Structure 1
């Protein structure tokens, strides 16, 4: 980029939401800094100033939308963020958006934007596993690479992207798989590409519809219906499912063993909930694609199975589907499609 006319650079908006990348600890001796720090205390302006060479990659404008730990993301905040990103993408003077985000719910936010923001402009999320005060802080490099990816025209039309640890992941696939390591984010089908010498290098494309091809548009969504998630373990209780229903949950994601297995002692109670109008979605707590009718007669019961969406993505997809559909067969087709 050295010597390039600044007017030729892409205009990228940095949107800060907090998280570990905006965190700080007691000092540089914190080591990896995985525990002794406070999230969401450094502004996006300060973050940008701390990364050498960042402004050589793009014309930047920084905005602070939230300053929170990503564990505090609610559906209301998710909707607010999606509306903000969609509004930015509609602006002629904005070429791309980079969002700094805490890693705990980064994959959920990325997936929601991937399905609801109708724009082919690059939308890139990044974060860090360690605060900026850690000796081995990963945030500066992740932010630099996220802007480098967002600023490239080749990143357009690929859906929402997550850039972490020099890898470019699709928001459809990526998940946080470790509590501390900087290479915590991985995709079961592999990343879309890598960041090589400061530039994205692409190796695969996503087949499933997203962004401009998605049936869901944030402009049409006022609120998300309540959807609960219950994770399987030995000695489960039906009362957990009943409580979600009593709170008004329109659907419950059953994060089952292996292929979404439902214990025999829960089959009748869950069938009762379905008869009361609560949608049941079978997912897997271990990952991997599920088969319809694999352990129960999903068609006869009116249950839905995920494809390979993990429980947290299944919650969001079920909520989005319920904004348009009530019929479980049609909702099943949504899960096969996305």
Structure 2
């Protein structure tokens, strides 16, 4: 008697993005392809594929509630014993944010892989199907479970922690600010309903108007997209003190994409002065991901000490 080998099952969650987009007659691109239609374009693979049609959005328009919806869909599939791996089709504008969000909320029992495209499905340089095929292959490799949530894109397979979009017009789009052997995996499963965390840009000569506006808007936390290794100026240092006085955590990240961030400079507005005023330095995460981690920590009721430890990349 012969026994047929059961193929692994990969669930593919469609959320929209460039991978699902085509250019309309007016020249604008928008998500128009379903997950099922994209899977039908793949060559024969040694897997079974299950499309999950969740939403059709450009990732620039996603809200924290949308990210929560994606995370909840992942949770259901993690609990489904028939599913061997999970792929999420997602726009690149906010892929690193949603990927980190899912990483923070779940202990993985199977691979979870995000992918997408830089070029629309009808573009001469369309890259979506090659990324999708590689992501499916990554999702059936059990060794990838222990690496946390991954992004498979442009020939790279990268952990979500510390990821950022590196370029807007090439297929090899993502890099890590500081690759870690064992990226932190805090389990922050609290829903982010009603949580507001703002990002405030720092630039030479800026004042505290935008940071103060976030306070007046009842932000639960603020991320500074600071200069260099996390520097600002004396006016922002005073504003950080005001935030600390009312219990609003401020995390300092940087507009510089790569490298370890250290709060070392003084001079009245450097990273050392910001830390003395109560700010928390993000050693690795850049502003977009820092916002996601801070929102998750605030929602979970983390203390200032716990927030500082999380942003220090403590495993």
Same fold (TM over 0.5): yes
User: What is the correspondence of 1:60-79 to structure 2 with a 5 Å cutoff?
Assistant: 60-79=49-68
Choose which of 293, 297, 315 in structure 2 pairs with 1:321.
Answer: 297
Give me the whole-angstrom Cα distance separating, in 1, the residues matched to 2:86 and 2:302. 34
Within the alignment, does 1:101 sit opposite 2:90 as a pair? Answer: yes
Change beyond 3 A, Cα 1:12–1:328: same
- Per-residue CA deviations over 1:191-215 (Å, capped at 9, x if unaligned) read xxxxxxxxxxxxxx731232xxx33
Cα deviation for residue 133 of structure 1 reads: 0.4
Change beyond 3 A, Cα 1:100–1:129: same
Give me the whole-angstrom Cα distance separating, in 2, the residues matched to 1:168 and 1:316. 21
Tell me what 2:182 maps to: 207
- Per-residue CA deviations over 1:274-299 (Å, capped at 9, x if unaligned) read 21222111111103222245433455
Cα deviation for residue 237 of structure 1 reads: 2.9
Choose which of 119, 130, 140 in structure 2 pairs with 1:141.
Answer: 130
- Per-residue CA deviations over 1:170-208 (Å, capped at 9, x if unaligned) read 111321111111112122446xxxxxxxxxxxxxx7312
- Contiguous gaps of at least 5 residues in structure 1: 28-34, 191-204
Give me the whole-angstrom Cα distance separating, in 2, the residues matched to 1:83 and 1:11. 19
Give me the whole-angstrom Cα distance separating, in 2, the residues matched to 1:252 and 1:322. 11
User: What is the correspondence of 1:186-335 to structure 2 with a 5 Å cutoff?
Assistant: 186-189=175-178, 206-210=181-185, 214-217=186-189, 220-221=190-191, 223=193, 225-287=195-257, 288-292=259-263, 294=265, 295=270, 296-298=272-274, 300-325=276-301, 327-335=303-311
Give me the whole-angstrom Cα distance separating, in 1, the residues matched to 2:139 and 2:299. 31
User: What is the correspondence of 1:106-121 to structure 2 with a 5 Å cutoff?
Assistant: 106-121=95-110
- Contiguous gaps of at least 5 residues in structure 2: none
- Per-residue CA deviations over 1:225-282 (Å, capped at 9, x if unaligned) read 2111012122323221111111111111111100110212322223123212221111
Cα deviation for residue 326 of structure 1 reads: 5.1
Tell me what 1:179 maps to: 168
Give me the whole-angstrom Cα distance separating, in 2, the residues matched to 1:188 and 1:300. 25
Change beyond 3 A, Cα 1:290–1:61: same
Compute the TM-score of the two structures, normalised by the length of structure 1. Answer: 0.85
Compute the TM-score of the two structures, normalised by the length of structure 2. Answer: 0.90
Contact 2:251 2:282 in 1 (8 A): yes
Change beyond 3 A, Cα 1:12–1:164: same
Change beyond 3 A, Cα 1:208–1:40: same
Secondary structure of the residue aligned to 2:93 is coil
Give me the whole-angstrom Cα distance separating, in 1, the residues matched to 2:4 and 2:175. 34
Contact 1:113 1:160 in 2 (8 A): yes
Contact 1:302 1:328 in 2 (8 A): no
Tell me what 1:17 maps to: 15
Contact 1:17 1:66 in 2 (8 A): yes
Give me the whole-angstrom Cα distance separating, in 2, the residues matched to 1:13 and 1:138. 20
My pick for the range that moved more, 114-123 or 322-331, is 322-331
RMSD (Å) for aligned C-alpha atoms: 2.1
Matched residues, number: 306
Give me the whole-angstrom Cα distance separating, in 2, the residues matched to 1:146 and 1:245. 41
